[in-house]
Every structure is written in structure tokens, then in C-alpha cells.
Amino acid sequence: QVQLKESGPGLVQPSQTLSLTCTVSGFSLTSYNVHWVRQPPGKGLEWMGRMRYNGDTSYNSALKSRLSISRDTSKNQVFLKMNSLQTDDTGTYYCTRDGLGPWGQGVMVTVSS
């Protein structure tokens, strides 16, 4: 059964760095891409970036200067790091296989002092 699960801190202070982990099961990171998508409270979906099966990455140009996606294939994990967080980075962060599905349950991140 294909599953993805996001984990990370629920609260991050402004100007700090967000670190999230997507742990996958039921498929190999060397065969499928994993995407990150976020959603501010009550708003729509924003694509953030992608870890390709071969290790290549793509990023949303609006976030590229602050965002980094990496992985550890031995642990079946994909990581998201985003620096210089502001209050408008508050929202639910999802990882998804191939950017289509399935999706993880999401992790709510609040940026606040």
C-alpha cells in the first residue's frame, strides 16, 4: 500500500528555517517522483517543488531562493527545508507521489513568535 506521511515542527519563529520530512512506503524513491505542495489556511494549493526519481530537483521560482529539497533513499525519506520564514508561510504542507497521488495527510505549520 502506497503511503506518504509528513512530519515536522508545528510552530516556527519568523526568520527561522522550516524542516519537514516526508516518509514514504509502498514504493521506491528511485522509481517515483515526490512533490511538495502547500496550502495557506482557507486558501488554494501552491506547488513548491519536486524531487525526481534520479535525484534531480525542480522548484517554484517564487520560492527557489529559500527552498531546498533533498532525500535519503535508504530511509525512504524526502526532506524540505525553507529558510527566512514569514507569517504568510503559515499553512498545511503536503507531499505527494508524482504530484498526482496519493497525498500525505499534511502537516500544519504556523509561523509566529
Partner 1 sequence: DIVMTQSPSSLAVSAGETVTINCKSSQSLLSSGNQKNYLAWYQQKPGQSPKLLIYLASTRESGVPDRFIGSGSGTDFTLTISSVQAEDLADYYCQQHYSYPRTFGGGTKLELK
Q: Which residues bind partner 1 (CB under 8 A)?
A: 35, 37, 44-47, 50, 58-61, 94, 96, 99-106
Helix, strand, coil tally for the chain in percent (to 5): 5, 50, 45
SS (H, E, C) 48-89: EEEECCCCCEEECCCCCCCEEEEEEHHHCEEEEEECCCCHHH
- Of the pair 14, 55, the CB lying nearest partner 1 is at 55
- Of the pair 8, 99, the CB lying nearest partner 1 is at 99
- Of the pair 19, 58, the CB lying nearest partner 1 is at 58
Q: How far is the CB of 105 from partner 1 (least distance, A)?
A: 6
- Of the pair 16, 23, the CB lying nearest partner 1 is at 23
C-alpha cell at position 31: 522509481
Q: How far is the CB of 108 from partner 1 (least distance, A)?
A: 11
- What values do phi and psi take at 85, rounded to 5? -65, 145
Q: How far is the CB of 52 from partner 1 (least distance, A)?
A: 10
**Cα dihedral sign for 12, 50, 93, 65?**
positive
Q: How far is the CB of 101 from partner 1 (least distance, A)?
A: 4
